Amino acid sequence: MTESAKHPMSQRFRGFLPVVVDVETAGFNPKKDALLEIAAVTLRMADDGRLEPQETHASHVEPFPGVNLDPAALAFNGIDPYHPFRFAKAERDALQLIFQSVRKAVRDNDCTRAVLVGHNPSFDLSFLNAAVNRTGIKRNPLHPFSRFDPA
């Protein structure tokens, strides 16, 4: 495919697809504290070049075995990790759900990888990378260290 035939999104961000990600956690330590919720919004480029939301995928996440659940963090975010109506998924299943949609968006936009965009992207990415390591997921579409904070 020639450069001019590539999707405009891939050209705008050097082959990276920006994906807006937010996580809710049970603390500040990504290796010991639970990832409780994850949401990802893939973006599309409008005809005028502006970015707009395309698809949103979200999942409640079951705490992993031996996890730390900081009571102060749970009081702050108001999440009851064991509430039966959360319909939480195992960490691996929740990540696969999100990653599947991100991989599709990367392909559809002729990009090579996704880059995490968020309010506190280092925090979010650290929890995602720790969960990827815990679950043994091999095909993480998000670049493992690049992130963008639009603030």
Q: Coil, helix or strand for 38?
A: strand
Which strands make up the sheet holding 51-60, listed edge to edge? 51-60, 35-45, 16-25, 113-117, 142-148
CA distance 20 to 114: 10
> Which of these, 27, 24, 35, lies nearest to 89 by C-alpha position?
35
Q: Which whole number is the average pLDDT over 118-131?
A: 94
| Residue 147, pLDDT above cutoff 80 | no
Span 127-131, average pLDDT: 96
This model's pTM is above 0.85: yes
What is the per-residue pLDDT for 3? 52
Q: Is 147 helix (H, G, I), strand (E, B) or coil?
A: strand
The residue-averaged pLDDT of 42-69 equals 95
Taking 60 as the threshold, does the pLDDT of residue 1 lie above it?
no
Closest CA to 62 of 33, 39, 87, 85: 87
Q: What is the pLDDT of residue 143?
A: 87
Work out the mean pLDDT of the chain and round it to a whole number: 92
The pLDDT of residue 151 is: 60
Q: What is the pLDDT of residues 75-113, one digit of tens each?
A: 999 999 999 999 999 999 999 999 999 999 999 999 999
Residue 22: enclosing H or E segment and its boundaries?
Answer: strand 16-25
